[in-house]
Structure 1
Amino acid sequence: MMIRGCHCLYEARAYVALVFSLFAALFLAPQEARADSFQTTAPTAILVDADSKAVLFEKNADELVAPASMAKIMTAEIVFNELKSGRLTMDTEFGISEHAWRAGGAGSGGSSMFAKVNTNVRLEDLLRGLIVQSGNDAAIAIAEGISGTEDNFARRMTDRARELGLTKSTFRNPTGYGDPAQKVTVRELSKLALYIIETYPDLYKMFGEREFTWNKIRQLNRNPLFAFNIGADGLKTGYIEESGYGLVGSAVQNGQRLVVVVNGLKTAKDRAAESRKLLDWGFRAFEARQLFQEGQVVGEAQVFGGDQRSLPLVSKRPVRVLVPRGETERVTARVVYVGPLKAPIQKGTEVAKLQVNRGDMKAVEVPLYADEDVQVGTLSQRALDGLMEFSTGWARRAFSSLLERI
């Protein structure tokens, strides 16, 4: 099956190739597994499939809420990015200032790695103190070591959030301590978690460590999902009075990863139960169907001024869609690109996107890449393309003008 391009009137002169309709007839589970039957007591929640980025369930997912210690996921991402770039190493040492010790240490009343004041601690140990023990002293020491002050680091957290496409979340400190201006959404926390999992697979493993001992004090990871046999391997809990009990969690079963975020629950027990219930339902209620294999040609795009008129498009990873078990649902796909594409084009260049819809909901969007080199065409080829583009462009403008009058 291959998607062939068609000339369509589209904003920004984007050509859209409407391709195929698939009818997924799945009668593999009882009716109670329907996607619209699930409910949760969590005030805000989201469940996302990591591979397809499909949202399987959401409830008030764009509501701004206090993140509590889930803010430390962003603190960790900044450190991971510094490590990946080579600006820091695991052996880099940061000092434990009196402020870090007083505001985040044992006497502060919050979670702590119990680092001693006026000592230097290796970044690798601070990271484990931050991630496994949820140490506020570790978070402050990291912030001061990288940016000088918590305030400077918090601005960097927000700037980094914008770079990653988190448009609503705002950070005011690296710990998650309450601040009226520190707000996130569960949707954006899920995006941040997925980014970390995909971008830093080796460093992400720290989120799955079950315990860490520092200053002769052994502490267990606070993630309640580790107590269940559901394949959990991260990420972070949070609680302050303003937020209630929250969790960003991830689990893998049979090669499928789901990310869950809940917030606003009344007790730690409720947090554990609702998170597990969401994950159990997600693994049970959906199954993956592969539409295209890695490297398979999925469609074509038109080319202007090249030695060929069309260009085959491929995905660099398998394209799968999650479909509810026990339901028959229409699946459609289309290739979207701004074009026609102009030669020359190098093989492997990202030039389009494949959008797959399940019913009325977008289920998957993946980048598509040129599968061939396209060289600049001969003078006669370019002249013919120019004439065709002029005529079709005139037709589009005329049709658009006609629509405006109707």
Structure 2
Amino acid sequence: MLRSRLQAISMISLCLIALLLSSVKPASAQEMPHPFAVAAKSAVLIDGDSGQFLYGQNPDERISPASFVKLLTLFLVFDAIDQGQVLLEDKVWISEKAWRTGGSKMFVRQGNRVPLVELIKGIAVVSGNDSCVAVAEFLQGNEQAFVEKMNQKLRELGLVNSQVQTVNGWPAPDQYTTARDMALLALSYVQAHPQALQYHQLKDFTHENIRQKNRNSLLWRDPTVDGLKTGHTEDAGYHLLATAKRGEQRFIAVVMGAKSEAIRGRESLRLLNYGFRNFVSVQLFKKGDVLLQLSVWKGTEGQVELAAGETGIVTVPLTLQADVTWKAQAPAQLFAPIERGQIIGEVVITTKDKVLKSIPLVANQEIPRAGFFKQAIHTAALIAGEHGKVLILVVVLLGGAVGGIWYLRQRKPKRGRRRS
């Protein structure tokens, strides 16, 4: 009977957590605002810190990524550098295949050894198809193995509407992406490797005495723009993935399928300006901040600290900045054992009753299960319900009384026999 009751209590707690987590949509899954039309097939604007979507036009329409694929190639290159697998100074041997690669080129020469950092510039600045092949062969031995790593990275990032078949975006069957996925890729890339922006913002690059300009025209039009990638194919049209930072605020704009270079540049800058003029990011707490303390039943400790699983930052219209609030939600009862990092509940961030974001609440410490006597007291209290405190007091007093009587009886001297 007792065991069944405790199991029922545990199930109720788990159900409460599930209900809380299922009641809030993530910001990326909500319907995107679309206050004006962009002259392109699809377009997206997101905040570069919170990742919130602020504008969307056909965000999930599949389209050929063209040279946007190179951003994923660079992502893997910088991953390898951060993991200590390669160095910027490493010399990369140029194969015949890399040398013969067509399209936009860095103009590497077969048999030469080129520093990896130069190949990075060749990809970021002049969109070199040949340099993409060179780094793919350097890191994985061949293009196909590198493509497999690229698709694996897409899955890790949750970009389920993207798939690549080449290392440089050369047109191929079953190669596609969406504006939403490219915005999220750029967000992850910039946050994971902010040092990469120093290459993307270069206005020109010279290799083998051949000087070429960066294809991102916004670098000349707006000094706050520091990236990120262009793309173009005859079928897909003109793409631009642009990012800019003004003060502490960063936005990322994606325009895909424009009819010309001029249009993609104009519309991308329009989206960026729309973001800076109308939105602000509000940070409410940092990852690891303790936001709530809850009582714990049947544990060695009586309370557990619940901390934010990630930084609480949201982006809102300037007019709603003062209306941003948050509320922690967690089960009414918690039972040991509890593991450090265990998700207990969530923090819901809202503005004027509109849910903006939900963030997990995690246990800040480990709490093992208590000993038998303490568990018995807590079990009795749970059964007694609202009279639990009285029952605990009675049990403690009775236990003390029994212990006291036993102690006194042990101390009482035995009477000796009377002599005759």
TM-score range, shorter chain: 0.7 to 0.9
TM-score of the two chains, using structure 1 as the length reference: 0.78
Aligned to 1:14: 18
| Deviation (angstroms), 1:177 | 0.8
Q: Distance in 1 between matches of 2:99 and 2:259?
A: 30
2:174 to 178, 181, 204: 181
Q: Is the 8 A contact 1:55 1:363 kept in 2?
A: no
Cα 1:342–1:16 shift into 2, 3 Å: farther
Cα 1:90–1:16 shift into 2, 3 Å: same
> What letter is aligned with 2:18?
A
Aligned to 2:213: 220
| Deviation (angstroms), 1:195 | 1.2
Higher fraction of strand: 1
1:343 to 329, 337, 342: 337
Q: Distance in 2 between matches of 1:256 and 1:102?
A: 42
Moved more, 320-329 or 233-242: 320-329
2:315 to 318, 322, 325: 322
Aligned to 2:59: 61
Aligned to 2:46: 48
Q: Distance in 1 between matches of 2:378 and 2:19?
A: 16
**Structure 1 residue ranges without an equivalent (≥5):** 1-6, 19-34, 393-406
Cα 1:375–1:245 shift into 2, 3 Å: same
> What letter is aligned with 2:205?
F
1:276 maps to 2:269: yes
Aligned to 1:21: none
Q: Deviations over 1:124-170 (max 9, x none)?
A: 11111111111000001111222222222112211111112212211
Q: Distance in 2 between matches of 1:155 and 1:63?
A: 23
Moved more, 196-205 or 310-319: 310-319
Write out aligned runs for 1:84-99 (5 A): 84-99=82-97
Aligned to 1:101: 99
Write out aligned runs for 1:383-398 (5 A): 383=376
Aligned to 2:4: none
Moved more, 330-339 or 65-74: 330-339
Q: Distance in 2 between matches of 1:366 and 1:209?
A: 37
Cα 1:351–1:222 shift into 2, 3 Å: farther
Aligned to 2:247: 254
Q: Distance in 1 between matches of 2:335 and 2:188?
A: 30
1:116 maps to 2:109: yes
Q: Is the 8 A contact 2:165 2:175 kept in 1?
A: yes
* SS of residue paired to 1:78: helix
Q: Distance in 2 between matches of 1:190 and 1:46?
A: 7
Q: Deviations over 1:198-228 (max 9, x none)?
A: 1122234322222221111122221122122
Q: Is the 8 A contact 1:53 1:363 kept in 2?
A: no
| Deviation (angstroms), 1:235 | 1.0
Higher fraction of helix: 2
Q: Deviations over 1:24-45 (max 9, x none)?
A: xxxxxxxxxxx65333222211
| Deviation (angstroms), 1:310 | 4.2
1:128 to 110, 114, 121: 121
Aligned to 2:398: none
Q: Deviations over 1:315-357 (max 9, x none)?
A: 37753332223469975645467994743544x7776543324
Cα 1:61–1:358 shift into 2, 3 Å: farther
Q: Distance in 1 between matches of 2:210 and 2:335?
A: 61
Aligned to 1:264: 257
Q: Distance in 2 between matches of 1:230 and 1:281?
A: 16
TM-score of the two chains, using structure 2 as the length reference: 0.76
Q: Is the 8 A contact 1:69 1:176 kept in 2?
A: yes
